[in-house]
Amino acid sequence: MEAALSTPELIDMVFAYMPREGNTATALVCKQWLEISRDHIWFEVDVPKELFALLAPIEMLEDTGEPEFVRTPDETDWERFKPYAIRVRRLLCNRAKNISHPMTEAFLRSRSRPNPILPNLRVFGWDMASSDPSQAYLASFHLLFLHPGIRTLGLYNMPREWITWPVYDLRQFALDIAHLSPGITTLDVRPRNAGFESATLELVTRLTALQYVGMAQTLLTTNMVQALSRLPHIKKVCTVLDAMEVWDYGPDHDLDDPGHYTYPSLDDGAFRSLRVIHLCLSLEDATSLLANRCFPSFQLCDLRLRAAACANNAAVRAFMSAFAAHCIRATSLVLILYPPEYVTRDDADQVLEALDYITIKPLRQATHLQRLVIHHSIPVSISEDNLLELIEPLKELHTFVLVPRPDWREGPYGAPGPSEFGWQTLNTIIQNLPHLKETGLYCDLTLASHDLRPPSCRLQSFSLGTTPLPASTTLHALAFRLCGYLADSGFINLGFETRSLWGVPDPVYGEGEIDDETRRWKELEKLVYLGLSTRSGVDRSDESIDHDTIV
């Protein structure tokens, strides 16, 4: 027999789905609603100065524009603040806009300050970006909030200057975190510059309860992978953690040194709980790793590989075969074949090949795949018939992206070569994949289509990459047709748009005609979103035309 919910429980469930403004209004109804509303208003705090204004009066400094307490909080202030402090579960903050160094000093001066300030805090995200990094600030701020109850920690934009500070070095910072919050299960680390690997490694090895790790791809070195493999509870190692994706980390740096991303040495029992991993390895090393008896390929549900060296089609085919044979439970494969920055363009041109059907044919055996994404710097050489043959057994795909953004090349090469994929290809793919929500294909939009009307399926994300826009077709006509493929809330991605945190580096392309093409892409995006707004009645004018694809 199911238990009936009480009226307060029902109200609490409803309030949980209301925006902050709505909960602020309901708090004025009665005392009981006030208590319920406060739980949701202060559950997550991303503007801490609003919270701490309830502790003591705050003013803005004239010279810096930073907030500062008018006076040091006393015992009465802390007692009055307690009903708010105990409700905070997530705190996301930075120095410039929310908690300044003067506020931090006021906290430390307060003799009656409780320790910790927010006793029920579970998620702490700290963006250290500042034009004037202070060693005293960085050495003390986190001590105010870290405690044994913290389960998720995000550290972002650590300043370069910290690497050389002698008094409070990065190793001591890592030791303090591990001592104050040893129960952390989710860690997300994204420094602004290189040089933070050893401190991150120190921290990771001491947080034995870790289950989910997200970090910039430059930190996913051989030593880091080996250290993570020894942690008994690690389930996910990736470049983006969904739990902390609200942060704007800025562009991730490309791989910096080929010597840092080599085949890891694994012990028996390595990664015993692993389900998701993102790796930076050469295709040859990745193929060997999947076949290694110490690596739990059969457990993986998500594999993402950023190639750390140029690979020819033979290496790609060997990897595809190893994936299909060993990753028998994997539902997601993302493969980034762009050459890293340390590979010269001339060297890359001697190795890279356009993917052909024989190369990727082994993926037909991976019938369990739900997401298949392959990025490359050059178009594929696959016929439309072969492409449809490839996806024929992959009926579970909800995301299918095949090289949507070839680079425009410098010199006499001009734009990427033509494609055999056109409107009819898109229509057939959508018809053959009933669960498809996101797709990306480099196309020839001048090719004729047997059916001018797109299928009834509406895509949430549609990427045409660097597909050239035909001069013979007006942008209005193209926008009208593209709107037919998109759901009202969907996004179209044109040109070089991509989310670099997922491993796709900045493009290499020539100047000149590409500038004109870029302007046309932007104009087309605006027209598409205008069309979606008109169709749905919902204003999309505030959507960024630089929307980042997450595939």
Q: Which string of DSSP letters, residue by residue, matches 181-231?
A: -TT--EEEEE-SSS--HHHHHHHHHH-TT--EEEE-GGG--HHHHHHHHT-
User: In terms of domains, do 65 and 200 share one?
Assistant: yes
Domain-embedded: residue 144? yes
Domain-embedded: residue 63? yes
User: In terms of domains, do 108 and 148 share one?
Assistant: yes
Among 210, 242, 259, identify where a domain stops: 210
- Of 32-41, 264-273, 318-327, 372-381, the range with the lowest mean pLDDT is 32-41
Domain-embedded: residue 265? no
Domain-embedded: residue 95? yes
User: In terms of domains, do 153 and 36 share one?
Assistant: no
- Taking residues 416-426, what's their average pLDDT? 87
Q: Please report which residue ranges of 305-422 form alpha helices under DSSP H.
A: 313-326, 345-351, 357-360, 384-391
Domain-embedded: residue 23? yes
Among 165, 184, 210, identify where a domain stops: 210
- Look at the chain and report how many structural domains it folds into: 2
User: Tell me, what's the pLDDT at 550?
Assistant: 39
Answer whether 278's CB lies under 8 Å from 217's CB: yes
What does the alpha-carbon distance between residue 438 and residue 426 come to, in Å, rounded to a whole number?
A: 12
Q: pLDDT class for 290, splitting at 50, 70, 90?
A: very high
Domain-embedded: residue 416? no
- What type of residue sits at position 218? T
Domain-embedded: residue 179? yes
- Written as one string, the DSSP assignment of 266-316 is --TTTTTT--EEEEEE-HHHHHHHHH-TTS-GGG-SEEEEEESS---HHHH
State both tokens at 319.
């990897």
User: In terms of domains, do 15 and 149 share one?
Assistant: no
316 or 348: which leads in pLDDT: 316
User: Tell me, what's the pLDDT at 45?
Assistant: 86
Answer whether 36's CB lies under 8 Å from 47's CB: no
Percent above pLDDT 90 for the chain: 46
User: In terms of domains, do 90 and 26 share one?
Assistant: no
- Of 67-76, 79-88, 91-100, 174-183, the range with the lowest mean pLDDT is 91-100
Domain-embedded: residue 35? yes
Interval 202-234: pLDDT, tens: 999 999 999 999 988 888 999 999 999 999 999
User: In terms of domains, do 15 and 153 share one?
Assistant: no
Among 186, 210, 234, identify where a domain stops: 210
User: In terms of domains, do 13 and 93 share one?
Assistant: no
User: In terms of domains, do 67 and 139 share one?
Assistant: yes
Q: Is the predicted pLDDT of residue 511 greater than 60, yes or no?
A: no
User: In terms of domains, do 22 and 101 share one?
Assistant: no
Q: Can you give the pTM of this predicted structure? A: 0.86
User: In terms of domains, do 85 and 188 share one?
Assistant: yes
Instruction: Find the domain containing 11 and state its range.
Output: 1-41
**What is the CB neighbour count within 10 angstroms for residue 516?**
10
User: In terms of domains, do 206 and 59 share one?
Assistant: yes
- Taking residues 104-129, what's their average pLDDT? 90
